[in-house]
Structure 1
Amino acid sequence: MAIRIGLIGAGRMGANTHAPAITVREDVVISAVYDPLPAAAQVVRDKYQATICESAEALAARADVDAVMICSPTYTHIEGIRATAKTGKPIFCEKPLCRSLAEADEILKLLKGYQAPVTVGFVRRFGAGQQKFYEIVSSGVLGPLRIATAEMMLGVYKRQEGDWFADFALSGGMILDMFIHHFDLFNWSFGMPQRVYAQGTLLSRKQPEPADYVSGTMTFRNGVICNLSGGWLRFGRSNNYMDVYGDNGCVSYKWGAPNVTLILKGQEPVVYETPEPLPVFQAEDNVWLDAILGKGKVKVTLEDGVNAVKVALALIESAQSNRVIEL
């Protein structure tokens, strides 16, 4: 029998990314969809024969919905989680989990002791290159770890005023929406930071068009110092790199590249080829869907989602207050 998915949010991440990723499986169907934009919901209805619902609550409560995917804008995630928590059904929520610490606390209380699989959409954990990067960092080959860097300059930002994505109060800007990938990845490798400091534009409306930039530092409890630099820019180069340095060498990875580079002191670089066995969103979704079927557990937990939000919001607080924030 197929897993019947209710899809909350029929935009870029819902209709264009996760819907095709899950429906390549013969044991998954999209049975219901909710989006406040009727035209968006209609696209999913037409393609997948899904029933259009009038609210997140109506969708989650349907007898023909076995599990819920929340792919709506960040500031609305809490609505889908509240609705689904009442039903006890499995939950997939796109990153970031929520927009505020109050919402994070509420979600933890709502889902305390929850029996069904819950996961957060940190897709980068499922990329073959990112997994190789993590394996090298965790192996000890680099020696005592000292430094990490993350650079994500995106020169193709197109959003305009009136779009929720260009509204800092709704999206959290570059820090919460994009760098949260790196906060999760570094938490995965190092644990939570001890303190953070940041400077940023925070989608300031003093600019002629929406754009964002952040420069920050995170110091982890294991002593690793991490430098962040990234922006949503309307021109210029785009890149997406991570590095970790230890006493014995460093490892570098560019997101989406088919290889990872290890450079040990006094040795030639070693390039590990990392082809993707599956499209990365399909690999991510499969883990949650298999967990629903009792075939393993989710790899990204609710607590992982909350912890990444805490790091992002601490960096935002630092940028707003010009203070070092202790976690």
Structure 2
Amino acid sequence: MRIGLAGVGRIGAFHASTLAGLDAVDEVVVADLDAGLARRVAADQGLAVEGDLDALLARDDLDGFVITTATTARAELLRRTVAAGIPTFCEKPVAATLPETIELTTIVESAGVPVHVGFQRRFDVGYRRAREAVASGELGVVHAIRALTHDQEPPHAAYVPTSGGIFRDCSVHDFDIVRFVTGQEVATVSATGANKGAAFFGEAGDVDTAAAILTLDDDTLVTATATRYSGGGHDVRMEVMGSVASVAVGLDASLALRSAEEGVTFPTGPVHANFMQRFRAAYVAELTAFCDVAAGRVASPCTVRDALQAFRVAEACEISRAEGRPVALAEVADAPVADAPAADAALGSAV
């Protein structure tokens, strides 16, 4: 299998290395707007390289395509790969705005070309176990969930203005995984945020710490928090609390918390420094699954419509934060659903 990859920044180079190590992949061909960077990454990792993105897209020997460019470039690339009929893996978000995401959902579902969106937590062992516990009834009635994404260090100042904001860039992972674990949709949100760190967050209209209360359509209450300043370590967790039992994802020796109780030595560490350390195994599983998608063996485990639903929750949170009020998801535009049976396949979110 030959995979093309567009964009060799931090996550792109990481994905290229992961793909090259998979048994199903014979060759990875990379390209970037920065041709020199593409050549360096290709040389370092023993990959093939094209001179530019147009040349990569023009090839007729690609079995799959991976989009890991800057967010603002993804929508156009995805339109082109879908038009060419190439199964595509696209990092989240697939587009920078809600209208573009809605447009892409309609295009992809109409074309029938497999597109797998990169929400890697769906492939993490802990989150999958939590999903099973909810689905089996092991926890009884799930009444509350706590989800969090706390980065150890803030991103570079230049990243923030084009990131879409902390809810669209960071908490969107929590919004997707809440849908995945519970099988429920978000009905309403109430969100807020604050800045106690670098000034560049506020200058870009963003916040460095945020919190949201989500009410799911079965009345489960979810609290989701995010921060760019978790100095004790990269901290991504979920607690699912039920009437019979509760489970926690991310509660292991790497936990970026220390007990205030006397004599408690857990956790022993070391902590994770970033998302690539935290989810390394999940990334391998995710791209292995994409190879199966590209080969036609399985349907997409995370569709563009799944990405749209998570984006809509983030959009609602931004409205809530800006206007200081609860926001119903019904207020946020959605893509029309195609006629069945195509719609059934497009809406599938099970792994």
TM-score w.r.t. length of structure 1: 0.83
1:200: which partner in 2? 193
The SS at the match of 1:240 is strand
List gaps (5 residues or longer) in structure 1. 260-275
- The CA deviation string for residues 51-94 of structure 1, in whole angstroms up to 9 with x for no partner, is 32423x44222123232100112222112112212201101001
Is the 8 Å Cα contact of residues 166 and 173 (structure 1) preserved in structure 2? yes
Distance 1:236 1:290, change over 3 A: closer
2:322: which partner in 1? 320
Structure (1 or 2) with the greater strand fraction: 1
Which consecutive segments of 4 or more residues in structure 1 shift more than 4 A?
Answer: 206-211, 255-259
Does residue 294 of the first structure (1) align with residue 296 of the second (2)? yes
Aligned-pair distance for 1:166? 2.1
List gaps (5 residues or longer) in structure 2. 256-277, 330-351
Does residue 227 of the first structure (1) align with residue 223 of the second (2)? yes
Is the 8 Å Cα contact of residues 10 and 71 (structure 1) preserved in structure 2? yes
Distance 1:80 1:118, change over 3 A: same
Aligned-pair distance for 1:145? 1.6
Does residue 91 of the first structure (1) align with residue 83 of the second (2)? no
1:52: which partner in 2? 50
Q: Which amino acid aligns with 1:166?
A: V
1:171: which partner in 2? 163
1:270: which partner in 2? none
CA distance in structure 2 between the aligned counterparts of 1:257 and 1:305, rounded to whole angstroms = 31
Aligned-pair distance for 1:19? 1.0
CA distance in structure 1 between the aligned counterparts of 2:232 and 2:248, rounded to whole angstroms = 22
Q: Which amino acid aligns with 1:34?
A: A
1:146: which partner in 2? 143
- The CA deviation string for residues 181-214 of structure 1, in whole angstroms up to 9 with x for no partner, is 1111111214221111111248863769996110
CA distance in structure 2 between the aligned counterparts of 1:258 and 1:204, rounded to whole angstroms = 30
The SS at the match of 2:235 is coil
1:262: which partner in 2? none
Aligned-pair distance for 1:238? 4.3
2:340: which partner in 1? none
Does residue 7 of the first structure (1) align with residue 5 of the second (2)? yes
Pick the aligned partner of 2:184 from 187, 191, 194. 191
Distance 1:241 1:175, change over 3 A: same
Q: Which amino acid aligns with 1:119?
A: H
2:270: which partner in 1? none
Q: Which amino acid aligns with 1:18?
A: H
Cα-Cα RMSD: 2.7
CA distance in structure 1 between the aligned counterparts of 2:299 and 2:70, rounded to whole angstroms = 26
Is the 8 Å Cα contact of residues 63 and 295 (structure 2) preserved in structure 1? no
CA distance in structure 2 between the aligned counterparts of 1:255 and 1:121, rounded to whole angstroms = 23
Structure (1 or 2) with the greater helix fraction: 2
Q: Which amino acid aligns with 1:5?
A: I
CA distance in structure 2 between the aligned counterparts of 1:27 and 1:206, rounded to whole angstroms = 42
CA distance in structure 1 between the aligned counterparts of 2:9 and 2:27, rounded to whole angstroms = 15
CA distance in structure 2 between the aligned counterparts of 1:256 and 1:304, rounded to whole angstroms = 29
Aligned-pair distance for 1:258? 9.0
TM-score w.r.t. length of structure 2: 0.78
- The CA deviation string for residues 231-272 of structure 1, in whole angstroms up to 9 with x for no partner, is 01274554222111122221111178799xxxxxxxxxxxxx
Structure 2 counterparts to residues 1-327 of structure 1, below 5 A: 3-15=1-13, 17-46=14-43, 47-55=45-53, 57-157=54-154, 159-161=155-157, 163=158, 165-167=159-161, 170-188=162-180, 189-201=182-194, 205=200, 212-233=208-229, 235=231, 238-254=234-250, 279-327=281-329
CA distance in structure 2 between the aligned counterparts of 1:31 and 1:120, rounded to whole angstroms = 19
Percent identical among aligned pairs is 28
